[in-house]
Structure formats: C-alpha cells, structure tokens
Structure 1
Amino acid sequence: MRYDKQHKTAIRQRILDMATLRFRSEGIAAVGIANLMADLGLTHGGFYWHFKDKEDLVAQACQQAMQSIDQQWQQQMQLAAPGGKRLSVAQHYLSIQHRDFPDTGCVAAALAGELCRHTPATREAFTASLQQQLATLDSAARQDGSPSETALTPGTQLSLMVGAMLLARAVTDPVLSSQLLAEAEALVAHHSGSAPD
C-alpha cells in the first residue's frame, strides 16, 4: 500500500515525538529502533523510510526538543515583568516540575553526557540549537538592561542552570535537590538585579 506525503510526514513526526521523550527519559543508548517503532505500532523496517539511521534520529530529536525549550523561554520572557526576563527563564528552568519530568525538559541536562560521544553531525545539530538558546538568553539580558559588568553572560547562566538541574536530578536527598535549584535561581536573580518571587 502506498501512502501520501501527508501520511508519511505524520508518521515521521510521531517517531520524532516519541524519540524526544524516550531519549530524555531513558537515555539515547537505552532506546533501540526496534522497540521505539514497536511502541508506535510500526515496523522496524519502516523506520528507514523516515530516517537514515539512529544517529540521524538522535540529531533531529535533539533539535526538535531544544527548539521547544527555546520557545518556552520566549513565552516566559513575554510574560515577565520589565527587567525580569532572565530571572523568569531561570525560574521556569529551575523548577521542581522541570526536575521531576526530564522526558519533556532540557536536552542538555538530560543528554549532554551522552551527546559528547556521538558523531560530529549530531554534535553540530546540538551546538546549533544550543547557540540559539544562548541567543535567547542574550536577548533577555539586553531587554532587561542590566549593566554588563554585573550580569551573568548567557553562557554562564546556561551552564549554571544546566549544572544545577543535572545535580538536582542526581542526588537522593530531596532537600539538597531543591536547595541546588534555589541557589542557582538566587544567583541569577542577584546578577540580573531582580528579586526572586
């Protein structure tokens, strides 16, 4: 049976959506093509109508997930009070909700340790998406208008948020986990001239 282009596009998107969830939740190495396709009620062989190989899927899934996070940041910035855009992004990122649901969260916090061992093409896709997130944080800083000598650079803020989230997910002590997130948020607030809620 031959399917039209719209059907093929919809199937491809279903595979991408499932992969973005499962890679972040289980890790890239733990997700096989056969079980991913089986979960969708599709055949293993059908995967290759949509993606060259697993590495191609990893690159595209990471891009899609990171674009989604960047869109969330843009929404947070629109809702933020004047001068509070960077802090609003940090509060959204460093939330308990984000910590407890890695399958819908940041690719860097969930997968950077694995991605550093993937192909240059996959890492380039990750790099391009990360650069877009840095540009979003830079835009937030410019809109906040804080003096550059006191503000965190976009790279420092992103590294702080990702590191805090990574550690908060890894520890077994819930008090320590929350403290790590709160301290990172307080540091962003201090360097952006905003007070946390």
Structure 2
Amino acid sequence: MRYPSDHKAEIAQRIVSIAALRFRAEGLAQVGIANLMADLGLTHGGFYAHFGSKEELVAAACGEALRQQNDRWRQLLAQAPAGEGLAAVTDAYLNIEHRDFPDSGCALAALAGELARQGAPVRGRIAGEVGQLTATLAQARAQDGKEGDALLDLALMVGCLALARLVNDADRSRQLLESARARLTDK
C-alpha cells in the first residue's frame, strides 16, 4: 500500500506531539518508547524510521513545545495594548490553569532538572529555544518601555511556576504566582 508523500512527516509529528505531552506530564525517564508507540497504535520498531534515539525525540518534542510556547507569547504580544505586552505574557504564564496542567504547559517548568542532565544535542536545542523565549521577553520589555534582564525574567517565571506546583498550600501557591507577576510587571 502506498502512503501519501507527507505520511512519514505526519507520523513523526504525531510522535513528537504526544511525546511532548507525556514528557511534561510524566517526566523523561518514565516515558518508554514502546509504550509511547503503542499509545499511538504504532510499533516500537517503527520509531526508528523517524528518530535515531530517544534523545533525538526528547530534543524534538521539548524543543517543539518551547517553540509553540514562544509562538503563543508572540501572539499575545502582538495583540496586547501598548504598554501591556509583558503583563499579557506573564498573566498567561503565571496562572492557576498553567500551574495545574503541566502536560500542556511549559516544558522548562516541568522538566528543567531532567533536561539539564541530557546530552549536548538536547541541551543545545533547548538552549536555542530559551534564547528565543528570552528574545520575546526582551521585546515585550522594550515595547513597554521597561528596562530589565529578560533571561532573569524567564528564570523567575519558570522557577516560580515550578515552585507553585510543588507547594501544598493552594493560597500560598496562588500568592507565589501573583507576586511573580507583580515583580515582573512592576505593578
């Protein structure tokens, strides 16, 4: 049976999308290739038609998740009223819904510790995406006429979200998110 010319690319994209969700929800080590492929109705051996290793998939899946996050930030920035770009981005990132649904949220907040222990190809891809996220935050600051260090802004956002997920007290968790938003936007 002949498949359309874009069939292989579509399958690879499905693998990347589901892996990105599962990695953020369960962690890198907990997601096995055999189970991931079975969830997609594909064979374990079929994985290697698309990726050379799990490490290659981690780089693709986490990199894609961060690229999509940056795309959302850029859309928010484009739609925000003058002087409100950084607030739009931080409000979308530092909120209860994002805290409660790590599988569809930031790969950095969910996986930073694990990603830091990956090989150079994964860390390189993630570093490139971090650079893009940082550039978007710098653009938001510039559009709002605010000085600041965008990489430090990103670190505060990621760290705060990770801690808000860890804190057992719902009020304290919410306060962390609110305090970080206020600190970032000088409100």
TM, length-normalised to structure 1? 0.92
Partners of 2:4 and 2:81 in 1: how far apart?
47
Superposition misfits of 4+ residues, deviation over 6 angstroms: none
1:15 — aligned with what? 15
Residue 159 of structure 1 aligns with an amino acid whose one-letter code is A
Correspondence for 1:154 among 129, 150, 153:
150
Residue aligned with 1:51, SS: coil
> Which runs of no fewer than 5 residues in structure 1 stay unpaired?
none
Alignment match, 1:181:
177
* Cα shift readout 1:39-87 (whole Å, capped 9, x = no counterpart): 0010000000000110000000011100110011011112212111111
SS of the counterpart of 1:83? Answer: coil
SS in 2 for 1:5: coil
2:123 and 2:3 map into 1 onto residues whose CA distance is 33
Q: Give the count of matched residue pairs.
A: 187
- Give, in whole Å, the separation in 2 of the partners of 1:145 and 1:175: 32
What is the CA–CA distance in structure 1 between the aligned matches of 2:89 and 2:149, rounded to whole Å? 14
By how many angstroms is 1:188 displaced? Answer: 1.2
Q: Deviations over 1:88-123 (max 9, x none)?
A: 111110011111111111111011100111101110
1:172, distance to aligned residue in structure 2 (A): 1.1
**Paired residue for 1:91?**
91
User: Which residue identity is paired with 1:3?
Assistant: Y
Q: Which residue identity does 1:116 align to in structure 2?
A: A
Which AA in structure 2 matches 1:130? Answer: V
Question: In the alignment, is residue 35 of structure 1 matched against residue 44 of structure 2?
Answer: no
Match of 1:65 in 2: 65
Percent identity, aligned pairs only, is 50
Q: What is the correspondence of 1:130-149 to structure 2 with a 5 Å cutoff?
A: 130-146=130-146, 148=147
Map 1:119-130 onto structure 2 (within 5 A): 119-130=119-130
Distance (Å, rounded) in 1 between the aligned partners of 2:2 and 2:49:
12
The letter for the 2-side match of 1:25 is: A
Corresponding residue of 1:108 = 108
Distance in 1, Cα, partners of 2:47 & 2:67: 23
Amino acid paired to 1:7: H
**Alpha-carbon shift at residue 2 of structure 1 (Å):** 5.1
SS of alignment partner, residue 182 of structure 1: helix
For 2:118, what is the secondary structure of its paired residue? coil
Displacement of 1:157 in angstroms is 0.9
User: Which of 143, 162, 168 is matched with 2:164 structurally?
Assistant: 168
1:3 Cα deviation after fit: 3.3
Match of 2:77 in 1: 77
Other-structure match for 1:47: 47
Instruction: Look up the SS of the partner of 2:179 in the other structure.
Output: helix
RMSD of Structure 2 on Structure 1 (CA): 1.1
User: Bigger CA drift: 5-14 or 22-31?
Assistant: 5-14
In the alignment, the residues of structure 2 paired with residue 153 and residue 89 of structure 1 have an alpha-carbon distance, to the nearest angstrom, of 15
